[in-house]
C-alpha cells in the first residue's frame, strides 16, 4: 500500500508540474502577441543570445565539422567510400549536429544565465517590484526572451552550418588531400533545401525551449542563493533533455516515410 | 471618515504559509489622506500584510477593500489598473540591478505611464535630489550604492509617480539619524502636500511619532491596539507599552533561550 501511495504521490507531483509549465507557457506566449512590445528589451536579448554566443557556437561547429570529415574518411575507407565524406559532413551538420550542438551550447550559456538573472530578481523581490510598478513581469521579462530565443537560434545555426562545413572542407583538403573544387561540388550535389530547413526549424524550437526553461525555472525559484543555483541547474538540464527529445520528434516529422 | 469609504479596509484577513499562521483575522482601516504606522515585532507579518493588500500574496480568506472595491477576487488585468494608484518601498529595496539608478526611479513613469524618457529622467533626478542624492548618483548602477543609498533610491522610486497610496516598509532602517529625519519629513510632505495615503511599517518609534496620524500594533497576526499618535504613551495596553519602551520583560515573550 505504501508503495502504491508513493507512486501516486509522484504522479500527482508530475501532473502538477506539467500543468504549471503548460499554464506558464500559454501565458508567456500570449504575452508575446499582445502590446506593449518592449523592442529595446527584445533587442538586448537578441544581442545576448545571438551575438555573444557566436564564438562558442562557431568553435563547436568548426571542430565538429573537422572531426566529422576525419572520422567518416577513416571509417568509410574500410569499404572504399571515401568519396562520400563531403556529403556526410554537409548532411550531418545541417540536419543534425548544427542545431543540436548549438542548442546545447546555448542552453548552457543562455538558459543558465536567464535562470540565474530571473531567479535573483525573484528572491530579491524585484519581480514583485515590477508588479507594483504596473508592469507585467511575464511581458517584461519572459516574452522578450522567448521571442529572442526563437529568432536568434536559427540565425546562429546558419552560421554554425557554414562554419561546420568549412571545418570539414579544411580537413578534407589540407589533411586528406581532396580536390577543393571537387569537394565543394560534392557538398552541394546531394544537399536538399529540406535538409537546411529542417535544421532551422529545429533551431527555432530549441531556442524557444532554452528561453522557456531558463525563464520558467528562474521565475519559480525560491529560497535565496541556493534556490537560484538549483533553478540554474534545472534550467540547463531540462532544456537539454527537451532539445534531445524534440530533436527526435522533429526529425521524425520531416524525414519519416 | 464620514460618507466616503476608507481608502483601505482589511477585515478578517487570514494568511498562512504551510502550517504557520501569519495573519490571523486581521482588521485594519486606513482613511483617505491619512498616515497610519504599523508597529510590531520582527516576523509578525507586517510585510506579509502589505503584500496581501498589493495582491502579491493571496490571503486564504478575508476581505481587502481599496476605495470600497474588493481586491482579493480581482483578475490580473483589473489589479494592474488598481496598482497604478500604489507606490511601494520594499524592505529590501528591490532595485532593478540591470538598470541605472535614474532608470529605476523613472521606471513607473516610463513603463507605467508611457512618459518620454527625457521628461521622466528630469522628474527622476528631482526625486533623487529630494532624498539627498545628486545627479551623478543617477548614472550609477544600484550595486554601486551603499545600503542606505539604495533605500533612498527605492523611496524615490516609490514616490516618483506621485501615487495616491504609498506603502513604506521600514523606510528609515539602515539610515543615519539625520538622514532618517529627512526621510520622515519627506514622507510627511508626501501626505500633506500630495494628499497621499501612507501606510508605513517601522520599528523606529521616533520615526513613528513623526510620520503617524494613527499607530496600530500588530501581534500574533492581529491588530491588538490602534489609536492616535498622541495616545500611544498612555494606551493602557501592556503589549504596546513594552514595545514602545523596548523592554525585554513584559507580556510579549521572545522565543529566545539564555546562553
Ligand atoms: N514567502 C514566504 N514563505 C514562507 N513564509 C514566509 C514567507 N514570507 C513570510 N513568511 C513568514 O511570515 C512571517 C512574517 O513575515 P514578515 O516578512 O511579514 O515579517 P515582518 O513583520 O515584516 O518582520 P520584519 O520586521 O523583520 O520585517 C515570518 O515568520 C516569515 O517566516
Ligand atoms: Mg518586514
Whether B86 and chain A come into contact, CB under 8 Å, resolves to yes
pLDDT, one tens digit per residue, over A95-142 is 999 999 999 999 999 999 999 999 999 999 999 999 999 888 999 999
Q: Locate the DSSP E strands across A59-129.
A: none
Cβ–ligand 1 contact at B221 (below 6 Å): no
Q: Residue B1: is its pLDDT beyond 60?
A: no
The pLDDT of residue A94 is 92
Whether A244 and chain B come into contact, CB under 8 Å, resolves to no
Distance from CA of B5 to the nearest CA of A (A): 23
The pLDDT of residue B76 is 77
Residue-wise burial string across B230-241, b where 16 or more C-beta atoms lie within 10 A, e elsewhere: eebeebebebbb
H or E, element range at A237: helix A224-255
Asked if B54 and A131 come within 8 Å (Cβ–Cβ), the reply is yes
The pLDDT of residue B72 is 86
Cβ–ligand 1 contact at B2 (below 6 Å): no
| Residue A3: pLDDT band with limits 50, 70, 90 | confident
Q: What is the DSSP string of B150-191?
A: HHHHHHHHHHTT--SEEEEESTTTTS-HHHHHHHHHHHHHHH
Q: What is the mean pLDDT of residues B145-171?
A: 90
Tell how far CA B124 is from the center of its chain.
20
The pLDDT of residue A184 is 87
Q: Please classify residue A226 by burial: count the beta carbons closer than 10 Å to its beta carbon, then call 0-12 exposed, 13-18 middle and 19+ buried.
A: exposed
Q: Which residue's CA is the closest to the ligand 1 atom numbered 6?
A: B17
Query: Looking at the DSSP assignment, which residues form a beta bridge with residue B226?
Result: B216
Write out chain A residues lying below 8 Å of B88, CB-based.
129, 132
Asked whether the CA dihedral A169, A175, A179, A180 is positive or negative, the reply is: positive
Cβ–ligand 1 contact at B220 (below 6 Å): no
Residues 106-125 of chain B whose Cβ lies under 8 A from any Cβ of chain A: 107-108, 111-112
The pLDDT of residue B3 is 64
Residues B150 and B186: their CA atoms lie apart, in Å, by 16
Provide the mean pLDDT of chain A. 91
Contacts of A67 (CB under 8 A, 6+ apart): none
| Residue A257: pLDDT band with limits 50, 70, 90 | low
Nearest to A94 by CA among A47, A164, A147: A164
The pLDDT of residue B258 is 66
The DSSP letter of residue A82 is G
Which residue in B56, B98, B112 is closest to A133 by CB distance? Answer: B112
pLDDT, one tens digit per residue, over A9-56 is 999 988 988 899 999 999 989 988 888 788 889 999 999 999 999 999
pLDDT, one tens digit per residue, over B215-229 is 999 988 889 989 888
C-alpha cell at A1: 500500500
**Which ligand is in closest contact with the Cα of B45?**
1
pLDDT, one tens digit per residue, over A147-171 is 999 999 999 999 999 999 999 999 9
pTM, entire model? 0.89
Nearest to A64 by CA among A210, A166, A188, A155: A166
Q: Which residue's CA is the closest to the ligand 1 atom numbered 16?
A: B45
Q: What is the mean pLDDT of residues A198-204?
A: 94
Cβ–ligand 1 contact at B91 (below 6 Å): yes
Asked if B98 and A134 come within 8 Å (Cβ–Cβ), the reply is no
CB B72 within 8 A of CB B64: yes
The pLDDT of residue A107 is 93
Query: Looking at the DSSP assignment, which residues form a beta bridge with residue B199?
Result: B36, B167
Nearest to A149 by CA among A34, A42, A56, A232: A42
Residues A142 and A121: their CA atoms lie apart, in Å, by 12
CA of residue B45 to ligand 2 center, whole Å: 7
Cβ–ligand 1 contact at B17 (below 6 Å): yes
The pLDDT of residue B233 is 85
Whether B80 and chain A come into contact, CB under 8 Å, resolves to yes
Q: How many residues does chain B have?
A: 259
The DSSP letter of residue A176 is S
Residues A238 and A143: their CA atoms lie apart, in Å, by 19
Question: How many CB atoms are closer than 10 A to CB B53?
Answer: 25
Residues A222 and A214: their CA atoms lie apart, in Å, by 14
Residues A86 and A171: their CA atoms lie apart, in Å, by 11
Q: Residue A216: is its pLDDT beyond 60?
A: yes
Amino acid at each position: 500500500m505504501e508503495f502504491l501511495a508513493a507512486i501516486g504521490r509522484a504522479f500527482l507531483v508530475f501532473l502538477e508540474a506539467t500543468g504549471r509549465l503548460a499554464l506558464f507557457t500559454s501565458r508567456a506566449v500570449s504575452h508575446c502577441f499582445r502590446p506593449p512590445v518592449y523592442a529595446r528589451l527584445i533587442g538586448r536579448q537578441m544581442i545576448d543570445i545571438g551575438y555573444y554566443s557566436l564564438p562558442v557556437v562557431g568553435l563547436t561547429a568548426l571542430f565538429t565539422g573537422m572531426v566529422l570529415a576525419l572520422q567518416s574518411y577513416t571509417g568509410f575507407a574500410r569499404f572504399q567510400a571515401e568519396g562520400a565524406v563531403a556529403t556526410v559532413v554537409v548532411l550531418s551538420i545541417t540536419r543534425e549536429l548544427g542545431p543540436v550542438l548549438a542548442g546545447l551550447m546555448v542552453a548552457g550559456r543562455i538558459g543558465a544565465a536567464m535562470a540565474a538573472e530571473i531567479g535573483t530578481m525573484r528572491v530579491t523581490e524585484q519581480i514583485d517590484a515590477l508588479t507594483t510598478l504596473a508592469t507585467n513581469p511575464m511581458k517584461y521579462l519572459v516574452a522578450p526572451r522567448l521571442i529572442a530565443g526563437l529568432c536568434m537560434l536559427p540565425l546562429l545555426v546558419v552560421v554554425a552550418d557554414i562554419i561546420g562545413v568549412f571545418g570539414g572542407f579544411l580537413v578534407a583538403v589540407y589533411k586528406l588531400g581532396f580536390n577543393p573544387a571537387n569537394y565543394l561540388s560534392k557538398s552541394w550535389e546531394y544537399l536538399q533545401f529540406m535538409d537546411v530547413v529542417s535544421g532551422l526549424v529545429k533551431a527555432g524550437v530549441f531556442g524557444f525551449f532554452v528561453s522557456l526553461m531558463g525563464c520558467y525555472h528562474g521565475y519559480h525559484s525560491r529560497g535565496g542563493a541556493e534556490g537560484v543555483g538549483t533553478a540554474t541547474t534545472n534550467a540547463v538540464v531540462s532544456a537539454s533533455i527537451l532539445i534531445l527529445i524534440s530533436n527526435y520528434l522533429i526529425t521524425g516529422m520531416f524525414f519519416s516515410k | 471618515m464620514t460618507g466616503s469609504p476608507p481608502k483601505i479596509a482589511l477585515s478578517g484577513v487570514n494568511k498562512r504559509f504551510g502550517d504557520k499562521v501569519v495573519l490571523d483575522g486581521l482588521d485594519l482601516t486606513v482613511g483617505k489622506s491619512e498616515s497610519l504606522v504599523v508597529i510590531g515585532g520582527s516576523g509578525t507579518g507586517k510585510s506579509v500584510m502589505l503584500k496581501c493588500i498589493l495582491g502579491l500574496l493571496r490571503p486564504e480568506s478575508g476581505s481587502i477593500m481599496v476605495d470600497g472595491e474588493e481586491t482579493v477576487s480581482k483578475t490580473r488585468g483589473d489589479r494592474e489598473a488598481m496598482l497604478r494608484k500604489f507606490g511601494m518601498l520594499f524592505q529590501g529595496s528591490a532595485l532593478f540591478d540591470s538598470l541605472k539608478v535614474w532608470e529605476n526611479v523613472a521606471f513607473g513613469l516610463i513603463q507605467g505611464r508611457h512618459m518620454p524618457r527625457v521628461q521622466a529622467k528630469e522628474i527622476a533626478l528631482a526625486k533623487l535630489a529630494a532624498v539627498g542624492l545628486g545627479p551623478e548618483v543617477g548614472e550609477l548602477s544600484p550595486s554601486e550604492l551603499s545600503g542606505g543609498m539604495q533605500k533612498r533610491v527605492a523611496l524615490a522610486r516609490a514616490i516618483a509617480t506621485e501615487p495616491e497610496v504609498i506603502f513604506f516598509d521600514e523606510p528609515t532602517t539602515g539610515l543615519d539619524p539625520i538622514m532618517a529625519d529627512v526621510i520622515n519629513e519627506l514622507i510627511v510632505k508626501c501626505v500633506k502636500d500630495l494628499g497621499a495615503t501612507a501606510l508605513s511599517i517601522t520599528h523606529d518609534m521616533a520615526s513613528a511619532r513623526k510620520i503617524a496620524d494613527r499607530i496600530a500594533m500588530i501581534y500574533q497576526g492581529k491588530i491588538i491596539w490602534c489609536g492616535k499618535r498622541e495616545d500611544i504613551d498612555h494606551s493602557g495596553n501592556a503589549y504596546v507599552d513594552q514595545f514602545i519602551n523596548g523592554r525585554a520583560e513584559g507580556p510579549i515573550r521572545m522565543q529566545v533561550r539564555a546562553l
